[in-house]
Amino acid sequence: MPGLPASSTRFRIGTDDFELDGRPHRVIAGALHYFRVHPDQWADRIRKARLMGLDTIETYVAWNAHSPERGAFDTSAGLDLGRFLDLVHAEGMHAIVRPGPYICAEWDGGGLPGWLFEDPAVGVRRSEPLYLAAVDEFLRRVYEIVAPRQIDMGGPVILVQIENEYGAYGDDADYLRHLVDLTRESGIIVPLTTVDQPTDEMLSRGSLDELHRTGSFGSRATERLATLRRHQPTGPLMCSEFWDGWFDHWGEHHHTTSAADAAAELDALLAAGASVNIYMFHGGTNFGFTNGANHKGTYQSHVTSYDYDAPLDETGSPTAKFFAFRDVIARYRSVPDEVPAMRGDAPAFAIAFDAAVPLADLVPDDAAAWRATDAVPSMDQLGVFRGFALHRVELPASTRTRVLAFGEVRDRAVVSVDGVRIGVIQRDQHETAIAVPPGRILEVLVEDQGRVNYGVRIGEAKGLIGPATLDGVELTGWASVPLDLDAMAGSVSSAASLAGASVAEPVRFLDGPVLAHASFDMDAPADLFLDTRSWGKGVAFVNGFALGRHWTRGPQHTLYVPGAQLRAGRNDLVVFETGAAADPVVAFLAQPELGHLES
């Protein structure tokens, strides 16, 4: 795609409509986040969007996925935004790019990297110089990919969004203007938009007069389009996020919405002449540690699945909503005759864990790998912005039970004394303290369960927030180490392979924290659904790929295993279990289990 000559095709905003080469054009788009879908499945998902009648694919750009470390910008494999946009173009579709820098999206930190806030002077989503310098570096790299793929250059990109629902957060017009100037200076010439929830306050705060305002909502289209029109008196009306489903938190029910009701709302939008972006067309998965969280008085972590009850389910299979939406779209334009096949049953089988290695056997023995501090450090102070860290401290001598307390635990801490687990401190239960029996060595395994992606707690540090006290007296002399679970899982798989795991005794009990291994053979790769109901809490890896978190709390009780990540022959599963499980089973189910519905 780069290097294509300029095209005669133009996409502009007219007095009443979007205009494609001077003719009125309605955008019917669907959201598909490349970073939530295995790259080998991108083309399939894009094609199915066209088969539903969509003409455009919309995607966010997740800054922290591309830049997990300061100065990095990874566009390999599942982060190859250029390849994704090229596949959209190859399918004959347009693209909308929403690069943030803040994206919300129920994604870790709303896409903002944890390292961005190492310096407490850094502002959040405002015209503060340190923040803007980092944002500029990121956006310039994104626009190097996007600019040559604009429709004027023969590519698919027709719209670029500035920030994301900014009116719900701030009102710094200088910040928005800076983003606009940077975007234009970087060669973006297609129309620029903003999106906000359709209230007078948010629509006025979240945009500039030179930007085209759009709305985000999932119901009451007539009313909300009228509000939008008051703030956007000319040009096309557009719902840039038509919420057709919802997300799940751990400990809640699985959210679904009526296909008929959602289709009726879509019909109302299209009948009003509006353009639309269906959020989500295909939700995908929060693989690894990429889920975000909400915090409105109580911390709520999002589950691994981002199924969203969308027209395509987490595995890419059409749902009732796909066909209901297709029927609605067919009233306003022709749709392809072909329809995608429904998913059949996945292979169902069970195996046993063949090895279990305590975490204590895998953490570094070398003192140089541990960071010594007087006060307990946060994960951010350790340079850890996702996952787990382990802290260790020697307890003052005593023969009685004492109270260990922290300023805050973000987000879950497994506490042990002399290698014996004594309990868990959980942020979502508003806990900060635990009774500690007599002993010599205290260990705290802390998990970042996902950075808040919406509201005032964006940018907060993770881990143990001090001071750490024992009966009110500060506990000092800590040693801390980040856990490289990818490397640990690889080590466990390699050791099991060398040991001949196929003839090992099955594991009858998991006493976490522990890494458990199993292997299984497949004649050919296929999507699988890993049953997690007999386990406690942790994260699973298949062939070195982090599938995401599991938790008995639910509602989700299977993890989606993309067939593209499997191979014919032997496959390796490693589960990092922080809890305990008697008679743990490794089972794969015929269908996913995303949890109970609201009664």
Active-site residue list: 165, 241
Burial status of residue 210 (CB atoms within 10 A of its CB: 0-12, 13-18, 19 or more): exposed
DSSP string across 307-319: -TT-SB-TTS-B-
Residue type, position 327, single letter: D
Q: Please, where are the H alpha helices in 217-281?
A: 221-231, 259-271
Contact predicate 204/167, CB 8 Å? yes
CA distance to 71, 274, 447, per residue, from 68 (Å): 9, 38, 18
With residue 146 as reference, give the H or E element that holds it. helix 129-146
Q: How far apart are CA 347 and CA 367, in angstroms?
A: 46
Closest CA to 185 of 219, 213, 144: 144
Closest CA to 36 of 45, 27, 49: 45
Contact predicate 216/165, CB 8 Å? yes
CA 95 to chain centre: 20
Contact predicate 553/250, CB 8 Å? yes
404 forms bridges with which residues in the sheet? 434, 470
Residue 517 has which token pair?
Answer: 């291994």
Q: What is the largest CA-CA distance in the chain?
A: 83
12 forms bridges with which residues in the sheet? 19
Closest CA to 482 of 568, 386, 580, 342: 386
Tokens 């803007």 sit at which residue? Answer: 132
CA 77 to chain centre: 17
